[in-house]
Amino acid sequence: LLRFYHERVVDHYNNPRNVGSFDKNDPDVGTGLVGAPACGDVMKLQIKVDDQTGKIVDACFKTFGCGSAIASSSVATEWVKGKQTEEVLSIKNTEIAKHLSLPPVKLHCSMLAEDAIKAAVKDYEAKRAKTE
């Protein structure tokens, strides 16, 4: 089946970047946990933020889902690293899908990654608001 996919999908699927977990109770960590109702796939994406600069210094993910979802989350962690939290809110699933040349039926897989980024930033900001 993999041969139908773009080589970037296969690459990120075979060698996913930044697989792992951070401590979700760490005040510098934001956790986004999202699911796709259509297929039941689940993605967890976490960011670690420098609270002085608002910059995302690290990111990781765990995805229980299809190859496109794994590849999308792998790309997402690469794209958010080194950026400001506000900046990554504008990452669109269509950009991820385009980068990976995902077929239309797999668009929702990249949507999971966009949603997970937004959820992670939201979680981080909610935590910060609580401690301030």
Which residues are known to be catalytic? 39, 109
Q: What is the rounded distance in angstroms from the CA atom of residue 6 to the CA atom of residue 19?
A: 21
Provide the minimum distance between the beta carbon of 55 and ligand FES in the complex, in angstroms, as a whole number. 29
Name the phi and psi angles at 31, rounded to 5: -120, 130
Which residues in 89-128 contact ligand FES (CB under 6 A)?
106, 108-109, 112
Determine if 70 is a binding residue for ligand FES (CB under 6 A): no
The two three-digit tokens of residue 25, written as one number? 């109770």
Determine if 65 is a binding residue for ligand FES (CB under 6 A): yes
Determine if 36 is a binding residue for ligand FES (CB under 6 A): yes
Provide the minimum distance between the beta carbon of 86 and ligand FES in the complex, in angstroms, as a whole number. 26
The one-letter amino acid code at 124 reads Y
Determine if 88 is a binding residue for ligand FES (CB under 6 A): no
DSSP letter, residue 23: -
Could you identify the residue written with the tokens 């039941």? 40
